[in-house]
Amino acid sequence: MQSRFVIIAKTQSTSLAQLVHRYELMRLIDDAIVNVGGAEAFNGHYLPVLERFADRVQEVPLQKAAFASLGGAFACGVRSSTLALRACDATIFSPTAGASERLTNDARYRWLAFCAALSTVYLICTASVDVLSDDGQDSRTYSWSDDTHLIDWCPTLKMAWVNKPQYLLSRLHPHLSPLFFPGQFAHLPRTLTSDFGAAINPSLATPSAEGPLARIVRQAIERIIADEKSMISGWVEQPPSTGQTATPGPADSSGQPIPGNPATASGDAAPPQSPMTSPPGQPSTDLTIDEETGEISAPSPQSAPKENPAQVKSREWLTALGSMTEMDPYVTEISGGRILLQRKAMGFGALPTVNSRMLLDAGHMDKKLTDGIETTAAAAAIYLAAKASRSSS
């Protein structure tokens, strides 16, 4: 596992804001803020993990095969974790759990998917790259298990590939402890921490028994890496013709080309951009997230639309809401067999913005008001049936 200490790139300490701006990832962050229910939820739970990830990987590449240029690990981590968040919308994590338990745990699983994706990418990076100091003194090698983050370890860094990297979790898990705060998962029940541990999978191997959380994290990272490899394979160096001169890509201090920076021929169109520098919004390949299983795949033109799982979640949420006596004052029957859900009711079990999006995706929202939601008659029927069942029991 020793590295050859052939320098592949050099960099300086960089903040999270600089990294997001440099690799054009702000739109993905904005989408994630909406996905988790707003800036308050993102800043309170997601941002601290992302900041710690950025402080530890800085601009280190991910691996030779993909995301091999500066910022590779960070870009892959952001893209994979935000794609995993999207996949959570189409995933039922605990099929046997009751409605109230699902309402509580869905937000937790969403956060764990984000954390597990960053953790897996982080371990792939630590297995693939050695980081050395470049401050004019005797060269030192950074320990990925060091409590000191890379951003604080040395102001200037140089990186080298590890020969024959090993991606087994059993060999890499000591690197994980500095990535999180002590006790950061203490509030979670045993089942969720177990699912989180199983979702950290730097080898990206498919186990015989794979839970929903582990599956969406693995598939998100595989999809992002596959997109990057596909983009790199599209970089075809054209031989120079008459009057054209081949222009080599950037080289390191030993004269070797830096991976991920293909040569171009002057006068030809520029090669396709890497997903790290392509316009961010959606991943570079249009992805399909299976609405029933949550699996991430390339779209199939022959695939038929399936039932939106948001309808299942919405039905369970309306049923749970109807079973809660204390919520009665905040739900009003209105014309057309519909109901008005006041903001207090919309905050039942999750943030109002999250529940509002769920009702919209399920087709159960008729009108959005400043102080609540008017549902469809179908949604009202689910709620009123649960309420009547409570009254008769």
Confidence bin at 284 (pLDDT 50/70/90): very low
153-157, 219-223, 304-308, 362-366 — most confident range: 219-223
Residue 299's pLDDT is what? 52
Render pLDDT for 314-347 as a digit per residue (tens, 0 to 9).
888 888 888 888 888 999 999 999 999 998 888 8
Q: For the residues 112-128, what does the mean pLDDT come to?
A: 97
Domain boundaries, the chain: 3-230, 309-392
Mean pLDDT of the chain: 81
Render pLDDT for 171-196 as a digit per residue (tens, 0 to 9).
999 999 999 999 999 999 999 999 99
* CA 5 to mean position of chain CA atoms: 31
Using the predicted structure, report yes or no on whether residue 286 has a pLDDT greater than 70. Answer: no
Using the predicted structure, report yes or no on whether residue 234 has a pLDDT greater than 80. Answer: no
Residue 219's pLDDT is what? 94
Fold of 3-230: Hypothetical protein af1432 (1.10.3210)
| Residue 335 CB partners (closer than 8 Å, separation 6+) | none
Residue 277's pLDDT is what? 44
Q: For the residues 280-307, what does the mean pLDDT come to?
A: 50
Using the predicted structure, report yes or no on whether residue 23 has a pLDDT greater than 70. Answer: yes
Confidence bin at 270 (pLDDT 50/70/90): very low
Render pLDDT for 62-110 as a digit per residue (tens, 0 to 9).
999 999 989 999 999 999 999 999 998 878 888 777 777 777 888 899 9
Q: What is the pTM of this model?
A: 0.65
